[in-house]
Amino acid sequence: MTIALTHFRSEQYQDQAVSRFMGLVLLTALAGLQLAHFSWLYLDREWVTTLPYRMTLFAVAPAFFLFSLPLLRPQAMSPRRHALLGHAAPVLLAPLLPADWALPLAFCIGAGYLLWLGHRLFALRHERANFPLEISLLGGVFAIAIGVSLLGLVQAALPDKLFFSLYATAIGLAFFLVQTTLGLRPQLSAEVRETVQVAYATSTLNSVDCDAAVATLERLMAVERLYMNPELSLSSLAEQLGLSPHQLSELLNTRLGKGFSRYLREQRIAAAKAMLCAEPSASVLSVGLNVGFTSQSNFYEAFREIEGMPPGQFRKLQGKDRPAR
C-alpha cells in the first residue's frame, strides 16, 4: 500500500502507463499471496492450495517482466496484444495443471524471467557508478527471488509449512528493500530509463558542439532560471537548446553524469537552499513552489534525497551556523 501510494503516481511514470499499471498489478498479486500465506500459517485456512492462489502465483513473474520492460528497454514499443496474451498464458493454463505441478512450474517460469532481468542488468554494469547503493539493495531483492525460485522447485520435500513461511518472509523482506531503495531515490525509475536510453543507443552527439551546449544549458539555468517552470520537460528544454530530447538526455548523461530528472531536481534544490537562507520568513512550502516543485511532498522527497534531511532542518542548521552580530 505504501509503495503504491508513494511511488506509483502518474508523475513518476510519465509516458509509461503500461509499466505503472503492471507495477500495480504486481503489488496486488504479491499482496494476495501474502494474505493467503497469513491465512495458512496463522489461521490454518488452506488458501495456498486453491486455484486463485495458483493463478496469482503464475501472474507474478509476467507482471514483473511487463513492469520492467519499458524501464530496461525504453526503445521497445509497448507490447502488442498477442504478446500480452503470451505472457498471460501461464495464468490461463493454471486451472488445467495438476496442483502438485503448479508451484514448481510457476517458479521455473519465474526463474526464466529472472534470467532475462539479470541479462539486462548485466549489460548496464558500466552504469553502476550512477546507482551504487540502489543496485546493491535491488541486488538483494534479486538474490531473494533466486533463492525463492530454488526453494519452489523442492517445495514438496520441505516440512509442512516451512516453505510458505520462508516464501512469505522473502516477499516481506523484498518489499522492505524496495521501499528503502525508493525512499533513498524516489525518481529511480525515471533515472534508470534515461540511463538505459543512453547506454543502448548509438551516439547522437557527433554533430553537436557539446561544450557550447553545456554552456548554454548552464546559462539558461543560472540566468533565466528555467528550472522554476513546473512544466519544464526534457522535450521543452531540448527545444530551447536546439537539440532533440534524446541528444539532451545523452548530453546530460555523458557530460554531467546524470539524467534529466536528477539534473532538474538538483537545480531546484540548489535554488531552494539559497532561498531558505536568504528569506527566513518564507514558508518551506512557498520556497518549494517558487523553485518549480508542484507539491510539498515532491519538494520534501527531492530535498531529503539530495541533502539527506528535510528543508526545515536544513534551514535551522544554517541559522545556527551564522555568526552572531
DSSP assignment of 103-124 equals: HHHHHHHHHHHHHHHHHHHHHT
pLDDT at 325: 46
| Number of domain units in the chain | 3
pLDDT at 111: 80
Amino acid residing at 82: H
Asked if residue 246 and residue 169 are part of one domain, the reply reads no
pLDDT at 35: 95
315 Cβ contact partners less than 8 Å away, ≥ 6 residues apart = 276, 277, 280, 284
* Residues in the chain where the model's pLDDT stays below 50: 77, 324-325
pLDDT at 249: 82
Give tens-digit pLDDT for 223-257: 999 999 998 988 899 999 998 887 888 888 888 87
Asked if residue 209 and residue 139 are part of one domain, the reply reads no
Domain stops at, among 144, 159, 194: 194
Asked if residue 74 and residue 10 are part of one domain, the reply reads yes
Asked if residue 215 and residue 180 are part of one domain, the reply reads no
Residues of the domain holding 320: 267-325
> Does residue 262 lie in a domain region?
no
62 Cβ contact partners less than 8 Å away, ≥ 6 residues apart = 87, 88, 90, 91, 113
3-state DSSP assignment of residue 44:
coil
Torsion over CA: 203, 207, 211, 214 (sign): negative
Q: Cell numbers of 248, please?
A: 539532451
pLDDT at 77: 47
> Does residue 127 lie in a domain region?
yes
> Does residue 60 lie in a domain region?
yes
Q: How far is Cα 147 from Cα 179, in angstroms, rounded to an integer?
A: 20
pLDDT at 292: 93
DSSP assignment of 208-273 equals: S-HHHHHHHHHHHHHTS-GGG-TT--HHHHHHHHT--HHHHHHHIIIIISS-HHHHHHHHHHHHHH
> Does residue 200 lie in a domain region?
no
> Does residue 33 lie in a domain region?
yes
Asked if residue 15 and residue 141 are part of one domain, the reply reads yes
> Does residue 275 lie in a domain region?
yes
Provide the 10 A C-beta neighbour count for residue 124.
Answer: 17
